Amino acid sequence: MVIGFDYGTANCSVAVEREGQFQQLPIAGSEKLLPSMMSAPIRSVVSEWLFRHHGVSYHSAEETAL
C-alpha cells in the first residue's frame, strides 16, 4: 500500500493508491480536507512547546513570539 500526505498552506489531505488509482481519504469525520493550522492560547506557548519537545531554543524575546 502506498499513501501520500499533503501538508498544504491552507489544508492537509491524505490519499491512498489502490490498483493504480489514488483515492483521498476522510481525515476529519467525513471531510477529506483538514485546515492547516496551529492553535495556542497565547503566542509563547508554541515557542515553549518547540523548546521542550524538539530542543528548538530561542535567543531573544522577539524569537519567543514566532
CA distance 14 to 21: 14
- Number of separate domains in the chain: 2
Looking at the structure, tell me whether residues 20 and 43 fall in a common domain. Answer: no
Q: Can you name the residues that pair with 4 across neighbouring β-strands?
A: 15
Q: What does the block give as the cell for 66?
A: 514566532
Specify the pTM: 0.51
Looking at the structure, tell me whether residues 7 and 27 fall in a common domain. Answer: yes
Q: Domain limits at 64? A: 39-66
CA distance 36 to 42: 18
Looking at the structure, tell me whether residues 28 and 2 fall in a common domain. Answer: yes
Sequential pLDDT tens for the chain (66 residues):
677 888 888 899 999 988 888 899 998 889 999 888 767 788 778 778 778 887 777 666 655 554
Q: Tally Cβ neighbours within 10 Å of residue 57.
A: 9
Looking at the structure, tell me whether residues 31 and 44 fall in a common domain. Answer: no
42 alpha-carbon distance from chain centroid: 18
